[in-house]
Structure 1
Amino acid sequence: MKKIALLLSCSLVAYVGKAQDSTALAVKAPASTATPTAAPAAEPVSTGKFTFSGYLDTYYFGNFNNPKSQSNLGLSGENVGNARAFDQKAGQFGIGLVQAKALYTSDKVDAVFDLAFGPFADLGNYGNNVGFLGAGSTSLAIKQAFVTMKATPKLSFTAGQFGTHIGYEVIDAPVNYNYSLSNLFNNGPFYHIGLKGQYNFSDKVYLMLGVVNNVDNIFDNNKRKGLIGQLFVSPVSGWNVYLNAIVSNEASPDSLGNTPDGNYSLFDLTTTYQISSKFFLGLNAAVGSQKGGFQVPYGVNESRSWSGIALYSNYTFTDKFGLGVRYEIFDNKSGVRALTDAAGNGASVNSITITGNITAAEGHVLLKPEFRLDSYSANKFQKNDGSLTKSQATLGMAAIFKF
């Protein structure tokens, strides 16, 4: 958790009991000399445990267009564009995100305390930065904060703020094969606040349903609630399939306090397949639609849609080096999302990203050299002389420390 982009796995621990037969007959002792029967042993009490983890990342990316703005975002009318999610600066060193995470686990309850600081954390909390809270609020540091109650071994309920279930990629830089994030990630939800329940039919199938506030905000912007869902299926070992959805009214109240009718929906397929111990494939496809306002009172009167598909691969050459490739097509020609051309009109974009994954310092340091090429359907990016071009190529490296 915009959602949350990301891989999941299930494990089953089997306890096998062996029955013993005995043909010997026990001889009952006289009552006066019989050994007293021991009281049944009390069930062990689970005390739970804490696990601490975190990371920090820094990066440098050069831009072959050498834009005067030193930005990878491109243009959108009179405003900056939305061509990159987080790694927005060109030709300069940058700090990404510093994470501190605590996880409490026990038989009956789990809890996550996940804090994030830095420019990427602020961008992930865009809804609060420019909305209700404004810059400087300590609430902006909350990346995730939720508790999971295990009602039964199969049924659990989670309440609080959690990363989105939508999409393949996640905000955490050590987890993704690529450092820069996809347009699918950038245009999907990042997190939700609400209540969700999950039922595990088996280790190969589960269903999650939930009720949430509006997306990417710590306070709801209206009285309507959104619905989320996820169906997980693992047809064979190594192959995971996730069907994800969210439907809500994201319109803000008008000047009279009334919430206009609106509909925001996003349906998402994420599937991963570990073909061999070295070769991995992933696919993320999504289609969304919007009618009415999106966190504003009014918007488009008719339903407009956007869509995208991304193919992921990673080949692990050694335990120290792997190569990840992402190819993505994103279509926002309707203009309903923020990804537009330099004139502010709807656009489509093809992107390819090639990322090395170098592991050092016993797994605590990750180095990610990366090349990315974005090609738009119309002029999007600025050159050093102020002229415009449809494409942008960047080359650089990210360094990540994790524990």
Structure 2
Amino acid sequence: MKKAILLINCLFLGFVAQAQDSTSATPGKFTFSGYMDTYYFGNFNNPKSQSNLGLNGSGVGNARAFDQKAGQFGIGLIQAKAVYSASKVDAVMDLTFGTFADLGNYGNNVGLLGTPGSTALAIKQAYIVFKATDKLSFTAGQFGTHIGYEVIDAPINYNYSLSNLFNNGPFYHIGLKAQYAFSDKASLMLGLVNNVDNLVDNNKKKGLIGQFFFSPVAGWSVYLNGIISNEASKDITNTNGTVAVSADDAMYQLFDLTTTYQITSKFFLGLNAAAGSQKGDYQGVGGPVTSKSWGGVAGYANYAFTDKFGLGVRYETFDNKNGARALTDAAGNGASVNSITVTGNITAADGHVLLKPELRIDSYSANKFEKNDGSLSKSQATLGMAAIFKF
């Protein structure tokens, strides 16, 4: 705790010093952008639930992150993003609305006042960047996670449906971080945040985040990411009053490699690999405290045939057989999954509209998906189209 307080104070002093020095800065520039998306995906299993999520031990599963509807039209996310940028400071106010916005605020369906539908769910990002020098900057507020290859924003991802690595988080952080650029080819970020995917801190401990970026050659970027956080909310006691699970026995850690290589102006490769673990009482109150792990690898290849049409393929394997995360089979047991996704990218309306036809096949290690006749299957295939408007 003392080390965390010391680091917070050091970062805060950097904030204060920069804020005092920014009064003479020249006026900045204001920009406004955003997007909206809608989609339709048919499911070849023709599930009665009209869902792509599959089943878990207690009902609906989470085989897909956002594109959850099958055989029906859906609205994804509406974004309104305002950015003010000056020589010494940036401010980002990124608001989102819709089903995907609520899903992106995982674990926060109840607002700070304890009532559903809080306006806190509309905040995707809200942060301030103080530029202490040309190389050193400080960021405070709520910001998207540095972990992983894919992001929530549909126009940025090549594939429309999101990977299992993305689906298992984290999505965002609230806290304070510092970034130092050694050069245009290498930088380091360190910060302190509240618990993983949580608007409010559920204990007195802070998570540590970090990222090291380097670019070995032109067009090749490498990101080494990590987060370590104690996710316990309190001690769990047995009926006799003894501690069954200590608040110190819920350590979450995730380490991630993300790398991209623009081989030619038309051909692009990407890779995301992650390994995580978390300690916990997986048997209920009084059960043994164990550490369970999960991990996965996703490879990406995109090719632009013209400036208006491209094709991308993603292959992913994700292992949760230990049951550490929520991705399970229909019986509720931990499972592994292999997924392949083929996505077209069609640019129209002077670049304002993106059309993404997509075929995806998910294959689990055990039965996961329902069919129209009530039987179960290890796999499902979906085919559909997403339409995205951006400005």
TM-score (norm 1): 0.86
Identify if the C-alpha distance between structure 1 residues 262 and 45 changes in structure 2 by more than 3 Å, giving closer, same or farther.
closer
> CA offset at residue 62 of structure 1?
0.3
Deviations 1:305-329 (A, max 9, x none): 0010000011000010010110000
> Within the alignment, does 1:287 sit opposite 2:275 as a pair?
yes
Aligned mates of 1:67, 1:317 — CA distance in 2: 36
Identify if the C-alpha distance between structure 1 residues 320 and 300 changes in structure 2 by more than 3 Å, giving closer, same or farther.
farther
Aligned mates of 2:209, 2:159 — CA distance in 1: 27
Amino acid of the structure 1 residue aligned with 2:259? T
Q: Is the 8 A contact 2:25 2:88 kept in 1?
A: no
Partner of 2:324: 336
- After superposition, residues 98-247 of structure 1 pair within 5 angstroms as 98-129=78-109, 133-247=114-228
Partner of 2:306: 318
Deviations 1:326-351 (A, max 9, x none): 00000000011000000000100000
Aligned mates of 2:378, 2:96 — CA distance in 1: 34
Q: Is the 8 A contact 2:111 2:118 kept in 1?
A: no
> CA offset at residue 188 of structure 1?
1.8
SS at match of 1:282: strand
Aligned mates of 1:292, 1:220 — CA distance in 2: 18
> CA offset at residue 245 of structure 1?
0.1
Partner of 1:97: 77
Amino acid of the structure 1 residue aligned with 2:189? M
Amino acid of the structure 2 residue aligned with 1:118? G
% identity of equivalent residues: 79
Cα RMSD after superposing both structures: 1.8
Partner of 2:295: 307
**Which range is displaced more, 129-138 or 157-166?**
129-138
> CA offset at residue 297 of structure 1?
8.7
> CA offset at residue 261 of structure 1?
2.6
Amino acid of the structure 2 residue aligned with 1:64? F
- Residue among 339, 353, 364 paired with 2:341: 353
> Within the alignment, does 1:395 sit opposite 2:375 as a pair?
no
Q: Which aligned segments of 4 or more residues in structure 1 are displaced greater than 2 angstroms?
A: 130-135, 254-261, 296-300
TM-score (norm 2): 0.89
SS at match of 1:129: coil
Identify if the C-alpha distance between structure 1 residues 91 and 298 changes in structure 2 by more than 3 Å, giving closer, same or farther.
farther
Aligned mates of 1:167, 1:62 — CA distance in 2: 28
> CA offset at residue 130 of structure 1?
5.2
Aligned mates of 1:349, 1:152 — CA distance in 2: 46
SS at match of 1:185: helix
> CA offset at residue 251 of structure 1?
1.3
Identify if the C-alpha distance between structure 1 residues 293 and 155 changes in structure 2 by more than 3 Å, giving closer, same or farther.
farther
Aligned mates of 1:279, 1:264 — CA distance in 2: 37
> CA offset at residue 293 of structure 1?
6.2
Gaps of at least 5 residues in structure 2 are 1-23, 238-242
Aligned mates of 1:238, 1:300 — CA distance in 2: 48
Partner of 1:368: 356
- After superposition, residues 7-18 of structure 1 pair within 5 angstroms as none
- Residue among 249, 256, 259 paired with 1:268: 256
Aligned mates of 1:250, 1:97 — CA distance in 2: 29
Partner of 2:67: 87
Gaps of at least 5 residues in structure 1 are 1-43
Amino acid of the structure 1 residue aligned with 2:161? S
> CA offset at residue 252 of structure 1?
1.6
Q: Is the 8 A contact 1:252 1:260 kept in 2?
A: no
> CA offset at residue 105 of structure 1?
0.6
Identify if the C-alpha distance between structure 1 residues 255 and 267 changes in structure 2 by more than 3 Å, giving closer, same or farther.
closer
Identify if the C-alpha distance between structure 1 residues 325 and 251 changes in structure 2 by more than 3 Å, giving closer, same or farther.
same
Partner of 1:3: none
Partner of 2:9: none
Q: Is the 8 A contact 1:75 1:341 kept in 2?
A: yes
The count of aligned residue pairs is: 359
Amino acid of the structure 2 residue aligned with 1:385? D
Aligned mates of 1:312, 1:374 — CA distance in 2: 16
Partner of 1:76: 56
SS at match of 1:375: strand
Aligned mates of 2:329, 2:207 — CA distance in 1: 30
Aligned mates of 2:156, 2:144 — CA distance in 1: 14
Amino acid of the structure 1 residue aligned with 2:354? L
Aligned mates of 1:292, 1:123 — CA distance in 2: 24
Work out which of the two has the higher radius of gyration on C-alpha atoms and give 1 or 2. 1
Aligned mates of 1:297, 1:246 — CA distance in 2: 27
- After superposition, residues 62-73 of structure 1 pair within 5 angstroms as 62-73=42-53
Identify if the C-alpha distance between structure 1 residues 332 and 298 changes in structure 2 by more than 3 Å, giving closer, same or farther.
farther
Amino acid of the structure 2 residue aligned with 1:241? V
